C-alpha cells in the first residue's frame, strides 16, 4: 500500500482559482493548512485554516510544513509548474517525494510561447530571477530561441541594455506580462526599443528569437584566430596562439559548469574560449599589466562573453579571495611560477586540472621542479607549429615559437595524480 501523501503541491496561474482543476480545488478544500506566497494566498479569502506565508527563510518554513503534515493535510501553492524553476525541487528534497503529490499548471513559459504564437520544443531556458545576470550573454551564444525568467532587478529592459552594450542585437524579443491574468499583455520589440522601454511589469517572461533565419550556432570548439582579439602588438602580439589554446583547453578538462582560473590572462583569449566551453561556470582572468587588463575587458565586450571576471593584480596574491577552481591555466608568472603553483595545487578542487604554458628554459625548469616537489608527475608536450605564409606566388612555412605544455591532474580522494 502506498504511503499517505499529506502534502499537495498545487500549481496556480495568475488568474487564481479559475485556473485550477476540480482535483486541485478539492486539494485546497481538504487542506487544514494552506502554504504559499502572499499573492497566492490572497486568491483564497474563504480559506479558514492555518495560513503559512512562503518568503525568506524557506528552510524554516518547510520544517514547519513537515511538522504540520504529520497531523493534517497541507496544500502548498506555487506558480505554474512547481518543478520548472520553482519551489517544487526544494519541497521534494526536504519533505520526500513519497509524501508529496504534485498537481501542476501550464508553466509561464508555455503560456508565453502560446501567446507569442511560437513553437517551443526547440527553445532553451534561462533564469535570472533572484540570480546574478552574469553569464546571461554567454548563455545566448549557441541558441536560436531562448525563454528567460526575469525579476524586477533583472528586467527585460535591463537585459536588453546589457545585450546592446555588447553588440548582441540581432534578436526579436517578446515581453509577456501577467500571463493568464486579467492584465495580460504581450508585446514584440527589437533589442534597442526594449532597452528604452519604461513600462514593463514585474511578472513577465522574456522570449528572444534570432532575427536572421540563416543564423547558425557557433562551433562547439571555438578555435579562434589571434586576429579575432585585440592585443598588445610587439612581434605579432602577446597572445596564446590558437593551436596552443586548443591543446591547453583540452588538457584542462573544462565542463559546462567549471570554475576556471586564467593566470597571466593577457588579451583574455584563453579566458574567452574557456568561458564559451563553460557557459554555466565562471572564469577568473588574472592580469597584472594595466594595459593587458583593459585589452582583456575590450575583448570580453567584443565577444559578448559575460561569465568572465577580470582580476587586476599579481598572482599569487590576487588569487586569495577567488573561489576554488576546477581548472587552472598559467600563461604568465612574472617570475613567481613556484609560488603560483603552490597556491593553485592547494586551492584546486580534487580531480581538477592544471595546465602551464612555458616558453623559456627557465620557466620550463621551474615548472617541472615545482610540480615534482608536490609529488606530481606532469604530462609534457613540446608543441612546434609552422604555418604556411604567402611568399610571392607561393606558400612557405613560418615557425611559431615552440611551447612546452605541462598538464597535471590533482589527485582525488581515491585517485592518483597524472
Contact predicate 159/126, CB 8 Å: no
The pLDDT value recorded for residue 238 is: 73
- At 229, give phi and psi (nearest 5°): -125, 140
Question: Which tens digit of pLDDT belongs to each residue from 9-38?
Answer: 999 998 889 889 999 999 999 999 999 999
Nearest-angstrom CA–CA distance, 240 and 403: 10
Q: Which residues contact 40 (CB under 8 A, 6 or more apart)?
A: 12, 77, 78, 79
Question: Which tens digit of pLDDT belongs to each residue from 116-145?
Answer: 999 999 999 999 999 999 999 999 999 999
Question: Which tens digit of pLDDT belongs to each residue from 83-114?
Answer: 999 999 999 999 999 999 999 999 999 999 99
What domains are there in the chain, each with its CATH number?
7-106 (3.40.1010.10), 109-210 (3.30.950.10), 226-409 (3.40.50.150)
The better pLDDT of the pair 415, 80 is held by 80
Contact predicate 136/162, CB 8 Å: yes
The pLDDT value recorded for residue 4 is: 58
**Percentage with pLDDT > 90 across the chain:** 89
Question: Which tens digit of pLDDT belongs to each residue from 299-341?
Answer: 999 999 999 999 999 999 999 999 999 999 999 999 999 999 9
Contact predicate 312/287, CB 8 Å: yes
Contact predicate 125/146, CB 8 Å: yes
Task: Give the model's confidence band at 1: pLDDT under 50 very low, under 70 low, under 90 confident, else very high.
Answer: very low
- In whole angstroms, how far apart are CA 100 and each of 12, 93, 96, 317? 16, 10, 7, 50
Q: Which residues contact 198 (CB under 8 A, 6 or more apart)?
A: 157
Nearest-angstrom CA–CA distance, 112 and 174: 8
Q: If we measure between CA atoms, which residue out of 331, 260, 274, 328 comes closest to residue 303?
A: 274
Sign of the alpha-carbon torsion through 289, 290, 292, 297: positive
Segment among 155-169, 221-235, 246-260 with least mean pLDDT: 221-235
Q: Which residue has the cell 545576470?
A: 133
Contact predicate 310/285, CB 8 Å: yes
The pLDDT value recorded for residue 415 is: 47
Is the per-residue pLDDT at 237 higher than 90? no
The pLDDT value recorded for residue 330 is: 98
Question: Which tens digit of pLDDT belongs to each residue from 281-309?
Answer: 999 999 999 999 999 999 999 999 999 99
Contact predicate 145/116, CB 8 Å: no
The pLDDT value recorded for residue 293 is: 96
Is the per-residue pLDDT at 412 higher than 80? yes
Question: Which tens digit of pLDDT belongs to each residue from 342-378?
Answer: 999 999 999 999 999 999 999 999 999 999 999 999 9
Nearest-angstrom CA–CA distance, 92 and 101: 10
pTM reported for the whole predicted model: 0.90
Amino acid at each position: 500500500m502506498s504511503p499517505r501523501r499529506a502534502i499537495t503541491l498545487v500549481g496556480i496561474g495568475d488568474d487564481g482559482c479559475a485556473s485550477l482543476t476540480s482535483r486541485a480545488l478539492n486539494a485546497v478544500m481538504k487542506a487544514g493548512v494552506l502554504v504559499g506566497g502572499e499573492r497566492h494566498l490572497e486568491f483564497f479569502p474563504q480559506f479558514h485554516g492555518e495560513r503559512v506565508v512562503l518568503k525568506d527563510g524557506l528552510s524554516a518554513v518547510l520544517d514547519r510544513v513537515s511538522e504540520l503534515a504529520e497531523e493534517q493535510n497541507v496544500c502548498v501553492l506555487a506558480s505554474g509548474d512547481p518543478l520548472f524553476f520553482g519551489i517544487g525541487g526544494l519541497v521534494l528534497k526536504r519533505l520526500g517525494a513519497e509524501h508529496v503529490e504534485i498537481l501542476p499548471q501550464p508553466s509561464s513559459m508555455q503560456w508565453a510561447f502560446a501567446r507569442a504564437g511560437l513553437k517551443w520544443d526547440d527553445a532553451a531556458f534561462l533564469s535570472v530571477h533572484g540570480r546574478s545576470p552574469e553569464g546571461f550573454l554567454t548563455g545566448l551564444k549557441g541558441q536560436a530561441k531562448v525563454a528567460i525568467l526575469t525579476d524586477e532587478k533583472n528586467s527585460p529592459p535591463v537585459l536588453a541594455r546589457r545585450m546592446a552594450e555588447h553588440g548582441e542585437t540581432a534578436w526579436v524579443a517578446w515581453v509577456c506580462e501577467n500571463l493568464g491574468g486579467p492584465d495580460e499583455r504581450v508585446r514584440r520589440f527589437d533589442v534597442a526599443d526594449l532597452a528604452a522601454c519604461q513600462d514593463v511589469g514585474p511578472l513577465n517572461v522574456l522570449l528572444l528569437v534570432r532575427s536572421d533565419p540563416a543564423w547558425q550556432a557557433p562551433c562547439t570548439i571555438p578555435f579562434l584566430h589571434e586576429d579575432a582579439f585585440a592585443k598588445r602588438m610587439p612581434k605579432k602580439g602577446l597572445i596564446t596562439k590558437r593551436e596552443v589554446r586548443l591543446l591547453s583547453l583540452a588538457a584542462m578538462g573544462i565542463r559546462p559548469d567549471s570554475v576556471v582560473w586564467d593566470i597571466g590572462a593577457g588579451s583574455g583569449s584563453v579566458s574567452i574560449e574557456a568561458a564559451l566551453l563553460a557557459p554555466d561556470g565562471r572564469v577568473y582572468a588574472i592580469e597584472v599589466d594595466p594595459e593587458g587588463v583593459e585589452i582583456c575587458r575590450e575583448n570580453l565586450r567584443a565577444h559578448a562573453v559575460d561569465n568572465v571576471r577580470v582580476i587586476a593584480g599579481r598572482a599569487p596574491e590576487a588569487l586569495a579571495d577567488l573561489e576554488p577552481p576546477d581548472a587552472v591555466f598559467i600563461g604568465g608568472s612574472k617570475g613567481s611560477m613556484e609560488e603560483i603553483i603552490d597556491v593553485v595545487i592547494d586551492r584546486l578542487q580534487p580531480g581538477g586540472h592544471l595546465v602551464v604554458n612555458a616558453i623559456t628554459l627557465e620557466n620550463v625548469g621551474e615548472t617541472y621542479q615545482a610540480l615534482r616537489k608536490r609529488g606530481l608527475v606532469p604530462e609534457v608536450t613540446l608543441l612546434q607549429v609552422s604555418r604556411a605564409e604567402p611568399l610571392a606566388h607561393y606558400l612557405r612555412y613560418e615557425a611559431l615559437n615552440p611551447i612546452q605544455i605541462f598538464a597535471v591532474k590533482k589527485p582525488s580522494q581515491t585517485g592518483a595524480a597524472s
